[in-house]
A and B are shown apart, each in its own frame.
Chain A
Amino acid sequence: MSNYTENELAQDLENQEYKFGFVTDIESDTVPVGLNEDIIRLISTKKNEPRWLLDYRLKSFAIWQQMTEPEWAHVQYQKPDFQAISYYSAPKQTKKYESWDDVEPELKETMKKLGISMEEQQRLTGVAVDFVMDSVSVATSFKEKLSELGIIFCSFSDAVQEHPELVQKYMGTVVPNTDNFYAALNSAVFTDGSFCYIPKGVRCPMELSTYFRINAGGTGQFERTLVVADEGAYVSYLEGCTAPQRDENQLHAAVVELIALQDAEIKYSTVQNWYPGDKDGKGGVFNFVTKRGLCETNSKISWTQVETGSAVTWKYPSCILKGDHSIGEFYSVAVTNNLQQADTGTKMVHLGKHTKSTIISKGISAGRSQNSYRGLVQINKSAHHARNFSQCDSLLMTDECGAHTFPYIECKNPTAKIEHEATTSKIGEDQLFYCMQRGISEEKAISLIVNGYCKEVLNQLPMEFAVEAQKLLAISLEGSVG
């Protein structure tokens, strides 16, 4: 956006409401606003895609046109105008980066602000990062080191070029393009994302990480992540999201597919910190995401999410427990403040015998926000001895916010055991009193109690992420109690 000046940027940084509200001044290559077959062809051509992928996109577009936007979620928002969005925005550059040193300095600066300075990360943490800005993957670190083990970790576009057989084999198998409105839209217009393949028996030695950022105004981000862990493989995958502060609503409709083949394990952690809008609910990101994993025999998929951003969140990371003895886990902390709305939860579909699932969901509502847990536990006829445990707790910080629980429990097998419990309450006055009596300020005391309340989930996050998540929690809840 051209009318966004350095002064405004400084102001934004100063007011500290949203730490990541900056725009990187890089020329973007953006396609015309609107959505039709030509735009899709244009995206496909720009990305030099094979014929089958274009066909898949066009088919998805046709399916999407037949669909209507779902309305069942417990959220209210102005529906996005799909013709007013630019579906492709790439940082402009023609040459591919040969090495990290070739990356433009402005971009490096952005990453630094985000706290994911690559040099530092490469050196200190050994995390391999795929950085997606607007819609296009910018740099992937540690590629060589990973490729020695046969691990493929690259942007989705590169994967389409270099490993089309893998992409074609797995894409859309977990989230088909007929799945839902936003998944169909994503299948038609997705621009980039990450692709990860861990070969048989390989334990990925480092955490893989993707950072998403919406930069340009009036763009939507439609990325696609596909993680395949082949037999006996293990991978821990991190995903972080930020967006600059803008007055209008931005749309983020991603699709994440995880495939854990026999004996494999995938751990997928998200720290979502899209711009949540200002105090009066102006602006902010609409986060409408479809995330789903497929578990084959003996495999395990674990979703961990810390959701603090977005004006409207609408997200249900799910597990299809297809193979016998497979395990699905879902750990979530969802924080809403001001006028944020979140409708989030999970689906655990038990198909195989002796499948297990655990759901731990912690909601925190502050300001005038609405926070809902919506979950499905479905035990099918074939799922003998399936086991589920769900716990959904909500914490209310003010008398103007709301906390809601909508669990669906469907059981068709007499050998299954399902437990669900939910509680809603506010921070105990006695707990606060105890802390304050010992000289801890109210704000600090609340942050301490909230951290303790979320501990079960935060413990699931990899170290660096856990620290960041704790900071985020503190920022999100700043000044929420008065």
Chain B
Amino acid sequence: METGTLNKLSLFVEDLNETALAPNALKDAAHEFLAGQDFPTTRSERFKYTRLAKLANAAFSAAQSVNEVQIAQSKILIDAYTIVINHDNIQIPKNLPSGIEVSLIAETQIPFNEAAFYDIFGALNILHASLGISIHIRQNITLDKPLQILQINSGGKTFYRHHFSFEKNSEVAVYFISKNTEGHSSFAHTHFQYNIAKDARVKIFKIQDTNVGHFDFNEDRAKQAERSHFEINTITLCGSFVRNDAQVIIQGEHAQTYLNGAYWLKEEQHVANYTTIDHRVANCESFETYKGVATDKATAVFNGKVFVRKDAQKTNAYQSNANVLLSENASINSKPELEIYADDVKCSHGSTTGQLDENALFYLRARGLSEAAAKNLLLQAFMEDVLAYVKNEEVLAYVHKRIAARFNWNY
């Protein structure tokens, strides 16, 4: 590649400043990784099914702040500690109980974990992340209410960075809600760093509900210590261009990991879920369930990878991806991978793509349900495996309401 001429990537980052958040060693690594790079094409393995041309050619509107009414409307949980992030405005609640510390990442920082870059976006985040929060949960703390983080995108290009540290034996549920305001085109890349200490029990729920014009990139990097329990449940309700890339490194024995995802796609939506679970020690379990429905011209991608390293004997890893295709022009790409270097393990994966069971449809129709109602019921049941992980009634109600409205499904 010629140096000196501006490629699409350098045009993309032209108006972004390099920030002082990351340590220099990481920045140097990011610079080295990005040297001479352009947006990856579909020839690159990680973007085989994602066309970035759309992003490279997009024009972004200027970032604008949203008002309090809009913020209030965007909340899903009423009874929760709510943090609001809207481009340069971060609101942290004052009434937080002791044992939880939330601050701006620029002020107090949980140190950066060392990083290996999977793609350009991770490296760009190191260089350009300016906004974000640090959340620290102290030893033995069980939060009485869930934590709600509301990230509202209203134009512009932003790299966010949120660092979480869950100390020994803490317990918390975090609801991360991403939305965007209509009429703005925006790009957000959000990096989540989680350090989960011994015996901690952490559940992350991501409710992704963004509209046309927003590019939503997410990168989760977690490290788990022994006997910890960690979940990421990603519920993609809407989003024209969503990429989720989660990686969990299991460093302590007897840890449990759950990565789940549900996605409902229509129109020209593109949702890609990439997961990596890295079993480095023995006696751990991991479970992945990703389920989705695609109609119109939507494309869904699932790429799950499970590593079982040489020392990770007695690992139990299970991975499943199921899809229902509802239209001629929708497509599903699934790639469940296993890389196993230990012998005393039980690992399996399954992937299915198909349509609703005709016998089940007939059964319901014979009992007087209309075709549409029968289909809706079956689709609802299909997705319930994943939604079962969401215990919060308010969130479930919101999910059902949004899906019903978008797909004209009556529950």
Interface residue range, chain B: 35 or more
Given contacts A411-B323, A414-B326, contact A425 B336 (CB under 8 A): no
Nearest first, the 4 closest Cβ-Cβ pairs linking A and B are A396-B343, A417-B354, A414-B325, A409-B334
Contact A404 B339 (CB under 8 A): yes
Secondary structure at the A interface, as helix, strand, loop or mixed, is strand
Q: Cβ of B351 < 8 Å from any Cβ of A?
A: yes
Contact B347 A424 (CB under 8 A): yes
Q: Which chain A residue has the least Cβ–Cβ distance from B49?
A: A410
Chain B residues closer than 8 Å to A420, beta-carbon distance? 334, 336, 349-352
Which residues on A are within 8 Å of B, measured CB to CB?
A: 72, 379, 381, 394, 396-426
The docked-state distance in angstroms from the alpha carbon of A370 to that of B107 is: 48
State how many angstroms separate the Cβ of B57 from the closest Cβ of chain A.
24
Contact A416 B348 (CB under 8 A): no
Contact B331 A422 (CB under 8 A): no
Q: Cβ of B395 < 8 Å from any Cβ of A?
A: no
Contact A418 B352 (CB under 8 A): yes
Q: Which of A72, A420, A426 has the most CB of B within 10 A?
A: A420
Contact B310 A405 (CB under 8 A): no
Q: Contacting B342 at CB < 8 Å: which of A381, A399, A405?
A: A399
26 A-B residue pairs with CB within 8 Å = A379-B353, A381-B329, A396-B345, A399-B310, A400-B310, A401-B341, A404-B340, A407-B337, A409-B332, A410-B332, A411-B353, A412-B329, A414-B325, A414-B327, A414-B355, A418-B352, A419-B350, A419-B354, A420-B349, A420-B352, A421-B350, A422-B336, A423-B346, A424-B345, A424-B347, A425-B347
Contact A422 B338 (CB under 8 A): yes
State how many angstroms separate the Cβ of B138 from the closest Cβ of chain A.
40
The docked-state distance in angstroms from the alpha carbon of A380 to that of B84 is: 44
Chain B residues closer than 8 Å to A381, beta-carbon distance? 328-329
Contact A425 B355 (CB under 8 A): no
State how many angstroms separate the Cβ of B270 from the closest Cβ of chain A.
14
Chain B residues closer than 8 Å to A419, beta-carbon distance? 350-352, 354
The docked-state distance in angstroms from the alpha carbon of A404 to that of B331 is: 26
Contact A414 B330 (CB under 8 A): yes
Contact A422 B333 (CB under 8 A): no
Contact B353 A421 (CB under 8 A): no
Q: Cβ of B344 < 8 Å from any Cβ of A?
A: yes
Q: Which B residues, 307 to 330, have Cβ-Cβ distances below 8 Å to chain A?
A: 310, 313, 323, 325-330
State how many angstroms separate the Cβ of B381 from the closest Cβ of chain A.
18
State how many angstroms separate the Cβ of B347 from the closest Cβ of chain A.
4
Contact B347 A408 (CB under 8 A): no
Q: Cβ of B45 < 8 Å from any Cβ of A?
A: yes
Contact B340 A396 (CB under 8 A): yes
Contact B327 A402 (CB under 8 A): no
Known: A410-B332, A414-B355. 4 other contacts (CB 8 A): A405-B337, A409-B332, A411-B332, A422-B338
Chain B residues closer than 8 Å to A403, beta-carbon distance? 338, 340
The docked-state distance in angstroms from the alpha carbon of A398 to that of B340 is: 12
Contact B347 A423 (CB under 8 A): yes
Contact A416 B354 (CB under 8 A): yes
Chain A residues closer than 8 Å to B342, beta-carbon distance? 396, 399
Q: Which of A381, A419, A424, A426 has the most CB of B within 10 A?
A: A424
Contact A414 B340 (CB under 8 A): no
Given contacts A413-B325, A420-B351, contact A408 B343 (CB under 8 A): no
Q: Contacting B344 at CB < 8 Å: which of A414, A418, A426?
A: A426
The docked-state distance in angstroms from the alpha carbon of A400 to that of B313 is: 11
Contact B339 A402 (CB under 8 A): yes
State how many angstroms separate the Cβ of A240 from the closest Cβ of chain B.
31
Q: Which of A72, A396, A404, A414 has the most CB of B within 10 A?
A: A414
State how many angstroms separate the Cβ of B316 from the closest Cβ of chain A.
10
Contact A409 B351 (CB under 8 A): yes
Chain B residues closer than 8 Å to A417, beta-carbon distance? 352-355
Given contacts A398-B343, A413-B325, A413-B328, contact A405 B349 (CB under 8 A): yes
